[in-house]
Homo-oligomer: A and B are copies of this chain.
Amino acid sequence: MAEEKERKILVAVDEGEESFYALSWCLTNIVNQNSKDTLVLLYARPPRPVYSTLDGSGYLFSSDILATIEKYSHEVAECVIEKAQRLCKDFNDIKVESKAEHGDPRDVICQAAERLNVDLVVMGSHGYGLIKRAFLGSVSNHCAQNLKCPVLIVKKPKSNGGN
């Protein structure tokens, strides 16, 4: 039993609190303080909806507005990843890598896990908001069914009972 195996753990992060809860659960319960684990923080930037170039009345958005939307989405990605990196700071020995990739979160997560040959994927059970989920289906469900590696799905507890 190779106890000291260096594992690669992919944690899917998004704007929601649940994915941060999942990350800290993983840090506390899976990543050993003295391990040489590599944590890959992955933010999937959901694809722009197809109607994004049209406003409600059918007019094209100006390229200015599209650029603003794009810039905002980029800043959100950076902000989420920075927040996740700060959470990892207490764990000095682990290596932390970060990635933000465009696409349907279901594909982004599954493809990255496969490509990076990770040992475990950690994610919140909801994520990507109620509305997006209605279109995309449950991301965690899809990943649990399609990933070849183990998947840890973490739910943020309802506020009774703290941490």
Contact = CB atoms under 8 A, between A and B. Distances in A.
Question: What's the dominant secondary structure at chain A's contact region?
Answer: loop
Q: How many copies does the complex hold?
A: 2
A151 B148 contact: no
Contacts of A50: none
For chain A, the bracket of interface size reads 20 to 34
A42 B22 CA distance: 25
A154 B150 contact: yes
Given A125-B145, A151-B153, 15 more contacts: A29-B30, A29-B119, A30-B30, A32-B32, A140-B144, A141-B141, A141-B145, A144-B144, A144-B153, A147-B155, A148-B157, A149-B155, A150-B153, A150-B155, A153-B153
